[in-house]
Amino acid sequence: MSAVTARVVRFNSFINPVFDERLHSEAGIELQVHPMPVSQALANAALQGVHAYHVSAAKDEQPPFAFVTPALIAACPDLLCASSAGAGYDPIDVAACTRAGIAVVNQTGGNAVSVAEHTLGLILSVAHRIAESDRLLRRDRGFSREDLTGREIAGKTIGLVGIGNIGRRVAALAHAFGMQVLAVDPLLSSDEIRLRGAEPAEFDEILERSDFVSLHCPRDDTTRGMMDAAAFARMKPGAVFINTARGGIHDETGLLQAIRSGRVAGAGLDVWDREPPPLDHPLLACDTVVATYHTAGVTHEARRNMASISADQIVRLLHGERPPRLVNPEVWPAYARRFEAILKRPVQHP
């Protein structure tokens, strides 16, 4: 029996043109781009017969019925691949995909340079009070330069919670600024953490010793709410908190209380429980909080890189190859059986 044309669907949110260009150039693959659906029925209709679904990684930039849920999976019996457009995969129920034999891929590492640079930008902005000075200079007079006295980061200690693709680059940049680097990562050995440029430490030690605590871990059941009021209370007095990972890993109310009490000197926040946060969010009223709108990985270079990686992984999957960024590797045997049955072509075994 002849091979089936593989159908890829994405909804029309921003993506660098290299994604569409690559998929349109591939024989045996058909890309369809649909308007963002306004109902579950429209989402299911657009995804009918889909083999690979490329979904935005930003949960607040699409309706929940565009998420990869058990209901969507049930409506798409030929779905083979759920591809996240970013490193995170909040809109994808990975466990449900694994049960259904669906491969989940993300684009981890594609925006690592941009996010690492943004992390250092937040650290410098809080420590040197750059954003605070900018806001004050635009609206007031009668203050002195000494009212905005900052602190050098050289000689300070940064604690990284996670030292993967992004964390290891933050470590390198921190060393360039003369900082000491600690890191905790449950997925890595102490020797590997040292190879990535940090001294291994337990989570509590990170909190107690670090002048800057920076999150570079995924949001999952093990990290959700990890930085709660108790964790902020264990931080070194006067330390700074940075999160360019995901909202929900830190408790926003707990952070607010820690800043108001003076335990935490300030924060650099790129991610929020709700994105963008409401204008009356109390953390936005704190002078020592530097806030950005989940833009750490939003650079021209990163967006092109992520789109290119995304397209390449989908093409490889639909040609029967095992992709390099498989979130649920345990799915592969079931995926291979479904792939061969649905697309009528063989999986390439290593």
State which amino acid sits at residue 208: E
Catalytic residue among 118, 294, 303, 338: 294
Residue 30 bears catalytic tag: no
Task: For residue 113, give the 3-state DSSP assignment.
Answer: helix
Q: Please, are residues 183 and 196 in contact by the beta-carbon 8 Å criterion?
A: yes
| Beta-carbon contacts of residue 17 (< 8 Å; ≥ 6 apart) | 307
Task: For residue 78, give the 3-state DSSP assignment.
Answer: coil
Phi, psi of 66 (to 5 degrees): -95, -5
CA atoms within 13 A on the CB side of 159: 21
Q: Please, are residues 86 and 245 in contact by the beta-carbon 8 Å criterion?
A: no
Q: Please, are residues 73 and 83 in contact by the beta-carbon 8 Å criterion?
A: no
- Beta strands across the sheet bearing 264-269: 199-200, 180-184, 157-161, 212-215, 239-243, 264-269, 289-291
| Beta-carbon contacts of residue 8 (< 8 Å; ≥ 6 apart) | 23, 29, 30, 31, 32, 50, 51, 52, 53, 54, 314, 318
Catalytic residue among 54, 118, 246, 303: 246
Please give the C-alpha separations between residue 164 and each of 91, 116, 197, 216, in angstroms, as whole numbers.
22, 11, 11, 7
Catalytic residue among 34, 275, 319, 322: 275
**DSSP per-residue letters across 185-225:** -TTS-HHHHHHTT-EE--HHHHHHH-SEEEE-S--STTTTT
| Beta-carbon contacts of residue 218 (< 8 Å; ≥ 6 apart) | 88, 162, 245, 246
Residue 152 bears catalytic tag: no
Residue 168 bears catalytic tag: no
| CA neighbor of 267 nearest in space, from 216, 232, 296 | 232
Residues involved in catalysis: 246, 275, 294
